[in-house]
Structure 1
Amino acid sequence: MIIPEENPMSMEGVELGKKLFNDPILSINNSISCASCHIQSFSFSDPNQFSFGTDGIHGTRNASAIINAGWHTSLNWDGSAMSLEEQAFEPIRNTLEMNNSWQNVENRLNQDEEYKLLFKNSFNIDYIDSNHIVKAIAQFERSLISNNSRFDKYIRGELQLSPSELNGYAIFNTEKADCFHCHGTNLFTDNLFHNNGLDTDPFQDLGLGKITGEINDNGKFKTPTLRNIALTAPYMHDGRFQTLEEVIEHYDNGGHYSSTIDPLMKKLGIGLLLTNQEKQDLIAFLHTLSDVEYIND
């Protein structure tokens, strides 16, 4: 796990971060919290295609699930943040999200005696500032670890998967479906950015290209983790697919050509040519990645 030297984990810090994560005090009108768009029962994602901010206006991307984020080398669909601390700065001042100012948030928390005591116990500070607020939230997010799915138990030798699930696992890890190229790690993400053939040129959302300014990065988005994937619909950066079946159909059809299409999309114009049974088996395997304890703990 990536833990910055300047923000070591502590029980007090994690509990404080959890309280902040769930407290609408961070938003301009006390109407939404981090948890409003990152709902635990949906593996800290949003079942809506787009999340709504304090003014009732929705954003343009689906809220990413927060799972094992302490191992991620960048955050957000476009990689705009390089750490959980940096990412936590963004929603407060985003006009489509909490639409607040950090000065206003600091003033509120410093007028709250409970928060003053919690920050004193967590960081030994007398004045609550934005740097320590995001440090607490980041500590909580690093504590959100999912490692007890049926697949994890299978790997540990604690249970056996069904024939359908095992066949789906085999399809996942071969050129038959090509999933493993981007999702073949224990995190089920390569932490990289790809154009997976969702759109043709010109792109409505430049993704990574908007951050780097490089034309070759246009249309590329971060690979999401597949852990708890059955719990985190809708799918893709813009939530365009409502079901896993739709996601599988996208790849089975081969995707759409564009100037930055990823070389790993090798079946472009041809498709994977999966049978209906193979599609069902692949989805059965993806369901083994669900960690029920994670959403109920």
Structure 2
Amino acid sequence: MKIKLLVFAAGLLFIAGVNTFSGLADNAFNTGDTVLFKTPENFPSPVYTFQGNPLTLNGFKLGRELFYDPILSKDRSISCANCHQQFAAFAQLDHPVSHGVDDCLGTRNTPALFNLAWQQEFMWDGGVNHIEVSPLNALTSDCEMANNLPEIVDRLKKSDKYIALFQQAFHTTDINSQLLLKALTQFTGTLISANAKYDKVMRHEEGAQFDSEEAAGYTLFKAKCAACHREPLFTDLSYRSNGLDTRSDDAGRDTITHQDADHGLFKVPSLRNVEVSGPYMHDGRFDNLAQVLEHYNAGMASPDNLDPLFKPATKPGITLSMQEQTQLTAFLKTLTDHEFLTDPAFQDTHKNNEQYE
């Protein structure tokens, strides 16, 4: 099957701010009816706007090729996609923590990849502050891809395929680490998830409405969850303790700030696609949403820096009856973006024997 990627003549358009960037003639493109980068109308303006890294069809294709190619890992055994699986919202369904070369297991759960252009900091502890360098953590970690940039660049320079792809994308055969990271960003930066049932209801699309359980769950969500998981991104991008342990074995945000008050604090993850992106929490300790909700209801520890939102007068947590947990789960499932999870533009073209032109 051949899927045509159509190139718009207009500049890259960010609907939220109605801003166009001059000189980026071929920067917005789509496959069928799916726009790869156009700010959803119910989203704020993005943080990353591809200035300095003009988004092009060939740049996107190169980034996708690199994302799915095990050539980036030390022993050529795993690719970025091994830990970031599209059907799991580019998280990792089959391991609670990252699983790298030589069957090495990391210490933290693989984060989902979507709506990255709206983030200023990355990783569970916020240790990376720019989307273009965020792949470095996985590429160089001994327990993930265990490689280094000089070796990767050397491999790419010896590949006729990549010489041609870099020429098409950046008009140069001088492959370097900066262009490698920019290409990966042209792929990961366009992983936009904004077409869940929730979005269609918010946009008042024809026929889109919550059923009674979903509506009740949405009311509960706004009352009990939205302070941290702020709409429409469903995260406020802050770092908080949600009472997983009295004293966390993982220092979390303290690793970056070296402040004991930040010990065991982790970034609030987006709840978009949460139905499919388990296991949950920074260490993948919970297998399903029922366990997550029961943790908030009755399983929360009380570390000294437990977030104040979880400190009511009686016991730490968020009191949720079984009926309320059922209703909340129904609402959370409306955040699953099935179009994003199956979009052929984001798939491995070789695995699916498809060609993008």
User: Same fold by TM (over 0.5)?
Assistant: yes
What is the CA-CA distance between 1:224 and the residue it aligns to?
Answer: 0.5
Cα distance between partner residues in 2 of 1:131 and 1:151: 37
What is the CA-CA distance between 1:226 and the residue it aligns to?
Answer: 0.4
1:65 aligned onto 2:112: yes
What does residue 220 of structure 2 align with?
171
Q: Is the 8 A contact 2:91 2:110 kept in 1?
A: yes
Cα distance between partner residues in 1 of 2:177 and 2:283: 30
Cα distance between partner residues in 2 of 1:17 and 1:145: 15
1:141-290 aligned within 5 A: 141-158=188-205, 159-174=208-223, 178-201=224-247, 203-253=248-298, 255-267=300-312, 269-290=315-336
What is the CA-CA distance between 1:271 and the residue it aligns to?
Answer: 4.2
Instruction: Give the letter aligned to residue 215 of structure 2.
Output: L
Cα distance between partner residues in 2 of 1:110 and 1:227: 38
Instruction: Give the letter aligned to residue 122 of structure 2.
Output: L
Gaps of 5+ in 2: 1-45, 344-357
Q: Is the 8 A contact 1:61 1:239 kept in 2?
A: yes
Q: Is the 8 A contact 1:66 1:144 kept in 2?
A: yes
Instruction: Give the letter aligned to residue 5 of structure 1.
Output: Q
Cα distance between partner residues in 2 of 1:266 and 1:296: 40
| Matching residue within 181, 187, 192 for 1:140 | 187
Instruction: Give the letter aligned to residue 156 of structure 2.
Output: L
| Matching residue within 70, 76, 85 for 2:132 | 85
What does residue 347 of structure 2 align with?
none
1:24-63 aligned within 5 A: 24-47=70-93, 48-63=95-110
Question: Which is helix-richer, 1 or 2?
Answer: 1
The farther-off stretch of 223-232 and 82-91 is 82-91
Q: Is the 8 A contact 2:214 2:330 kept in 1?
A: yes
Q: Is the 8 A contact 2:58 2:165 kept in 1?
A: yes
1:10 aligned onto 2:59: no
Cα distance between partner residues in 2 of 1:190 and 1:64: 16
Cα distance between partner residues in 2 of 1:120 and 1:239: 41
1:123 aligned onto 2:170: yes
Cα distance between partner residues in 2 of 1:243 and 1:106: 40
TM score, norm. by length of structure 2 = 0.80
What is the CA-CA distance between 1:5 and the residue it aligns to?
Answer: 2.7
What is the CA-CA distance between 1:91 and the residue it aligns to?
Answer: 1.4
Question: What is the Cα-based RMSD across aligned positions, in Å?
Answer: 1.3
What is the CA-CA distance between 1:212 and the residue it aligns to?
Answer: 1.2
Question: Which is strand-richer, 1 or 2?
Answer: 2
| Matching residue within 326, 342, 350 for 1:296 | 342
The higher-RCO structure (CA 8 Å, 6+ apart) is: 1
Gaps of 5+ in 1: none
Give per-residue Cα distances to partners, 1:251-293, cap 9 Å, x unaligned: 1126211122111213372543322111100000000000111
What is the CA-CA distance between 1:126 and the residue it aligns to?
Answer: 2.1
SS at match of 2:134: helix
**What fraction of aligned residue pairs are identical, expressed as a percent?**
40
Cα distance between partner residues in 2 of 1:233 and 1:283: 14
The farther-off stretch of 252-261 and 150-159 is 252-261
